[in-house]
Amino acid sequence: MMHGIKFAAPAVAVAALLLSACMSVGGPGVSTYYECDRGTRLKVDFRGDRALVSVNGGRPEAMRSTPAASGAIYENRAGWRLHTKGNEAMWSTALRSSPETCRQVVVPR
């Protein structure tokens, strides 16, 4: 009986580690979510020097990284711009005259 317990403990530890990885925010293959001060909601998938951004549940649009003095900036030809720094972001489009302030939020899976 004790023999089975020796092998069960490592399996439980591995399962707990895998589950905790699923709950993390950010990282490869995990979406980052932002809520902005004017009600805009962003879902962002960071992939190397690119970001796929969905606005309010819409179709994802690709954005490329551009040089930034601080944080990270992503832009596309449609005039979208996302400047992230820590848990905050500034979001703007060609249709808005001033950027929105956004904060990272955790969305239950």
Q: What is the 3-state secondary structure (H, E, C) of the chain?
A: CHHHHHHHHHHHHHHHHHHHHHCCCCCCCCCEEEEECCCCEEEEEEECCEEEEEECCCCCEEEEEECCCCCEEEECCCCCEEEEECCEEEEECCCCCCCEEEEEECCCC
* pLDDT surpassing 70 at residue 17: no
Q: Tell me the mean pLDDT in the region 1-15.
A: 47
* pLDDT surpassing 80 at residue 94: yes
Q: Tell me the mean pLDDT in the region 55-62.
A: 97
* pLDDT surpassing 60 at residue 4: no
Domain boundaries, the chain: 26-105
Predicted local confidence at residue 68, as pLDDT: 94
Predicted local confidence at residue 85, as pLDDT: 97
Global pTM value: 0.70
Does the domain spanning 26-105 belong to CATH 2.40.128.200? yes
* pLDDT surpassing 80 at residue 5: no
